[in-house]
């Protein structure tokens, strides 16, 4: 276990932090998908936005 994972696990013991963390997960997943798509298609943020509008 690396330091970041250890710190996250410690923070997740705090109920308020855990609630916020869990609510953030869908947004985090979306960000990962957008970044992955940008890398796969070798596009800029603007180009990706223009494609989706």
| 33: its two tokens | 């998908």
The contacts of residue 17 (CB under 8 Å, 6+ apart) are 11
- The 3-state DSSP composition of the chain as helix, strand, coil percent (nearest 5) reads 80, 0, 20
Single out the residue of 12, 37, 39, 10 nearest to residue 25, CA to CA. 12
Identify the pLDDT of residue 49.
76
Tell me the whole-structure pTM to 2 decimals: 0.66
Convert the pLDDT of each residue in 1-53 to its tens digit: 799 999 999 999 999 999 999 999 999 999 999 899 889 888 887 877 787 77
Identify the pLDDT of residue 18.
98
């Amino acid at each position: 276990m690396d330091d970041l994972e250890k710190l996250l696990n410690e923070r997740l013991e705090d109920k308020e932090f855990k609630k916020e963390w869990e609510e953030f997960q869908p947004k985090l997943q979306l960000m990962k998908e957008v970044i992955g798509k940008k890398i796969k298609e070798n596009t800029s943020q603007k180009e990706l936005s223009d494609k989706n509008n």
